[in-house]
Amino acid sequence: MRAVCLHRRGGPEAIVVGDVPAPEPGPDEVLIDVRAAGVTPTELTWLPTWTTPEGAERKLPVVPGHELSGVVRSVGSAVTDLAPGDAVFGMNDWYRDGAQAEHCLAHAHEVAAKPRSIDHVLAAITPISALTAWQGLVERARVEPGERVLVHGGAGAVGSFALQLARLLGARVLTTVSGRNVALMRELGAELTIDRHTTRFEDVARDVDVVFDTVGGDTLERSWRVLRPGGRLVTVAAAGERTDDPRVAAAFFIVRPDRAQLARIAASIDAGEVRPLAGERFPLAEARRAYETRPAHGKHVLVIDA
């Protein structure tokens, strides 16, 4: 099958498109005909892209891109709740081959029925970002209606879902973005949008109940002081994985697949309550360019021809 491949550890320059053997599903797995797969450029710097859970080097080539939308092609003998022909979206295990290929494997619990109101392209850019936002807001920060939530990077892939889901939970949302995205943030429900190039957020955001950080670095460092006493901070920015600061380590988490949460997110999309923000579409053959160019907002997606 055609697949995006990395035959050596590296960045976008190491990406090629080639042929690899099609995978076979194990007993609790499904084989999916991928229609589209999201592009998460920072994934090329994450350890699970290159190592096993035990820390050994992973077998090469690696197929990247762990979120997808597609159609179930076949199911393992123990899978009873999915069948060939089902349209699904989801994210698969970081430590296995990803979805930027004609077919990919996922455990049955890693996928859910695709939202009906959007196409595979928009569904494919939803799972990682929406699950990260949901798990940060609901499981970690336990956001309550009426609370003030500051989302850093509200026009980004994760940030745009965090903003919309925080609104859906009844929070009042403040967000930081670049100037070109200010109007879009209002459209998505932000009460206050701060242009990070012209205003320091700590000058206008105070006594915040929850900071949801997708940026890290100096932005994260300056965020502690805008929290009210007892306020909570969560960060997903990649650098949190390797921090020495115990406060940051406690605020950092890594998203995990969750079928029930995916179903909840799909229902909100179909109800028109939240929507994925698309960057550009690229054919599989142009995967390297998709990793090299930054979207103005949202996330790029690779489209796999059926």
Ligand X SMILES: NC(=O)c1ccc[n+]([C@@H]2O[C@H](COP(=O)([O-])OP(=O)(O)OC[C@H]3O[C@@H](n4cnc5c(N)ncnc54)[C@H](OP(=O)(O)O)[C@@H]3O)[C@@H](O)[C@H]2O)c1
Residues binding ligand X (CB under 6 A): 40, 42, 128, 132, 152-153, 155-159, 176-178, 181, 196, 214-215, 219, 236-238, 254-255, 299
Query: H-type helices in the chain, by residue range?
Result: 120-124, 127-134, 157-168, 182-187, 201-204, 217-223, 246-251, 259-270, 287-292
- In whole angstroms, give the CA distance from residue 57 to residue 69: 28
- In the bound state with ligand X, the residue whose beta carbon lies nearer, of 87 and 224, is 224
Residue number, 103 or 196, with CB nearest to ligand X: 196
Q: Rounded to whole angstroms, what are the CA distances from 183 to 187, 195, 201, 272?
A: 6, 11, 17, 19
Name the 3-class secondary structure at 29: strand
Of the pair 5, 215, the CB lying nearest ligand X is at: 215
Q: Please, what is the minimum distance in Å from the beta carbon of residue 173 to ligand X? A: 14
Question: Phi/psi at 146 (nearest 5 deg)?
Answer: 90, -10
Q: How far is the CB of 207 from ligand X (least distance, A)?
A: 20
Closest approach, Cβ 109 to ligand X, in A, equals: 18
Q: Give the nearer residue to ligand X in terms of CB position, either 87 or 241.
A: 241
Minimum CB distance to ligand X, residue 85 (Å): 30
Rounded to whole angstroms, the Cα distance separating 240 from 223 reads 14
On the 0-12 / 13-18 / 19+ scale of CB atoms within 10 A, 158 is: buried
Residue whose CB is less far from ligand X, 99 or 155:
155
- Least distance between ligand X and beta carbon 217 (Å): 7
Of 113 and 182, the one with the shorter C-beta distance to ligand X is 182
Closer residue to ligand X (CB): 114 or 196:
196
Question: Could you give the angle at which helices 127-134 and 259-270 cross, rounded to 10 degrees?
Answer: 100
C-beta atoms surrounding 173 within 10 Å: 27
> Could you tell me if 209 and 145 are in contact, meaning their C-beta atoms sit under 8 angstroms apart?
no
Min separation Cβ 303 and ligand X, Å: 19
Closest C-alpha to 15, from 302, 299, 306: 302
C-alpha to C-alpha distance for 125 and 69, rounded to whole angstroms: 8
Instruction: Choose between 68 and 79: whose C-beta lies nearer to ligand X.
Output: 68
Q: Report helix, strand or coil for 183.
A: helix
Q: Which residue is nearest to ligand X (CB)?
A: 156
Minimum CB–partner distance for residue 159 and ligand X (Å): 6
Least distance between ligand X and beta carbon 245 (Å): 16
